[in-house]
Homo-oligomer: A and B are copies of this chain.
C-alpha cells in the first residue's frame, strides 16, 4: 500500500460533549507559551470570545480547571496551565502518537488497490 496513507483525527469526549481535541490542545499549548488567553487567541488568529469559550468548556468538563486565570497586577492579569492542564496535553499527545504508530503499522500490512 505504498501510495495510500491512513490518516486519523482523535478527540476526547466528555459525557456532555467534546473535552479535548486538536484545536483545544493547540490553545492550551499557546496559553502556556503566551501566559495569557487573549495573547494566545491573537497568536492563533482566534477571537477572544471563542478562546474563552473553549477554555470555559475544558475547565467545566475536567475534574479540575485546566487553565487558571490570574487577575490583577500591572499587566492586567494573565493565565497559566494547571497541573491538570499540562497532563491533558501530555495524555492527548501520547494517545495521538500511539494511535499514529498503530495506524502506520496497519498501513504497512494492508493491500489496498
The residues of A with any CB-CB pair to B shorter than 8 Å are 3-15, 19, 62-64, 84, 87-88, 91, 94-95, 98-99, 102-103, 106, 110-113
The answer to whether residues A11 and B4 also contact, given A91-B110, A113-B84 and a CB cut-off of 8 A, is: no
Chain B residue numbers with a CB within 8 Å of A13 are 4-5, 7
User: Which of B5, B15, B64, B98 sits near A106, CB closer than 8 Å?
Assistant: B98
Chain B residue numbers with a CB within 8 Å of A102 are 99, 102
Where chain A touches its partner, the secondary structure class is mixed
A11 to B6, CA, bound (A): 6
Chain B residue numbers with a CB within 8 Å of A106 are 95, 98-99
Give the nearest-CB partner of A82 in chain B.
B113
Tell whether, in the assembled complex, residue A110 and residue B95 are in contact, meaning their CB atoms are under 8 Å apart: yes
Tell whether, in the assembled complex, residue B62 and residue A91 are in contact, meaning their CB atoms are under 8 Å apart: no
User: Which of B6, B11, B62, B84 sits near A7, CB closer than 8 Å?
Assistant: B11
Give the nearest-CB partner of A15 in chain B.
B3
